[in-house]
Amino acid sequence: MSTPKPRIAIVGLGLVGSSLGLALRQAEVTSTVVGHDRDRLLANEAKSRGAVDRTEWNLISAVEKSDIVILAEPIDAIPATMEAIGPYLRPGCVVMDTAPLKAPVLAWAAEHLPEQVHFVGTNPILPSAASSGSARADLFQRAPICVVPSNTADEASVRLISDLIGILGAQPLFLDAAEHDGLLGGVEHLPRILALALLEMAVQQPSWRELRRVAGSAFESSTRMGEGDAASLSLLSISNRENLLRWIDTYSEVLASLRLALALAEGEGEGEALTERIKKAGEERQKWLADQAQGQWQDGPATEMPPRPSLFDAFLGSFWRKRSRKEP
């Protein structure tokens, strides 16, 4: 009698979820991938493109008997999903998410998931060019994926997810929840609030009818609030408000200093200080973009990939068969 394949469930078949499925298929991972999305069009597209082996309209049917459950849905949907699936997850199941905030997600996992289920939070950091368009297998190539394990996740589960990240072609970056949310507050959440502020400022002007006709690429790129609906962005901001407020204060100080530099540069040839600031910031941006494109940061990798053979390989073989024999 043949041993059944390990089962991976992906809840949420948008850009990230479908790309995960496509990457697993491209890597020829021996498993059954089951997908679920409340949007039937997304579910059907994921199935037709081969991102999943099959789809389940019923959430419980998608996750029960799964060995790994990946929550790739908007952050505001996660607590209800965890509450719904918790009682139906098999002992030893590993659950991971892809939300851009970790402290509240870890709290929801502690509240809704059984003790015998291991939760490992993740967050893929994707460049703007990769975070739009249709799903693709190489979406995560050379990208850092933050890994934030829960207190109850065992070492084997953390290594399993780390190996999975390696299969995606990405690099695991281990952080605790407070560090993750503090860092992301400055480079992920703050830009969305600034985009909102700039857009509101422009729209509220009496000259908005004229402004909108001359607004070009600079305004378009600066007012992009990211993927997700208004509820997700609101929850993201409020849940990380302490970090976000500190970043807003810091940004306000820099903006005030730029205002002062502009005020003092009254005549031609008096803007050397501002020119130097623009030049220095531009150089730092180019360095960052180069490091991001290569996936090799100048200060060296924050973490090392686990040696092969990996625990994910074991998951597909003897490790998983041992777990199967222990279950009734």
Is residue 119 a contact partner of residue 152, using CB atoms and an 8 Å limit?
yes
Q: Binning pLDDT at 50, 70 and 90, where does residue 262 land? A: confident
Residue 95 resides in a domain? yes
Is residue 239 a contact partner of residue 76, using CB atoms and an 8 Å limit?
no
Residue 288 resides in a domain? no
Q: Which domain holds residue 231?
A: 180-264
- What's the CATH number where 134 sits? 3.40.50.720
- 82-123, pLDDT tens digit by residue? 999 999 999 999 999 999 999 999 999 999 999 999 999 999
The reply to whether 162 and 184 lie within a common domain is no
The reply to whether 118 and 66 lie within a common domain is yes
Residue 221 resides in a domain? yes
- 127-169, pLDDT tens digit by residue? 776 666 789 999 999 999 999 999 989 999 999 999 999 999 9
Residue 218 resides in a domain? yes
Mean pLDDT of the chain: 88
The reply to whether 193 and 86 lie within a common domain is no
| pLDDT number for residue 304 | 45
The reply to whether 78 and 166 lie within a common domain is yes
Contacts of 59 (CB under 8 A, 6+ apart): 11, 36, 81, 84, 85
The reply to whether 63 and 208 lie within a common domain is no
The reply to whether 167 and 187 lie within a common domain is no
The reply to whether 164 and 28 lie within a common domain is yes
- What's the CATH number where 200 sits? 1.10.3660.10
Mean pLDDT of 214-239: 88
Quick one: how many helices (H) and strands (E) in the chain?
A: 15, 8
Least confident of 105-109, 283-287, 308-312: 308-312
| pLDDT number for residue 271 | 77
Q: What angle do CA 266, 267, 272 make, to 5 degrees?
A: 90
Residue 287 resides in a domain? no
Task: Encode 159-194 in three state secondary structure.
Answer: HHHHHHHHHCCCEEEECCHHHHHHHHHHHHHHHHHH
The reply to whether 208 and 259 lie within a common domain is yes
Residue 111: closest CA among 90, 88, 80: 80
Count of domains for the chain: 2
pTM of the predicted structure, to 2 decimals: 0.86
Mean pLDDT of 178-189: 95
Question: Token match 């490091």: residue?
Answer: 291
The reply to whether 119 and 145 lie within a common domain is yes
If DSSP codes are grouped into helix, strand and coil, which group holds residue 67?
A: coil
The reply to whether 109 and 59 lie within a common domain is yes
Given a cut of 50, is residue 28 above it in pLDDT? yes
Residue 280 resides in a domain? no
The reply to whether 12 and 86 lie within a common domain is yes
Length, in residues, of the chain? 328
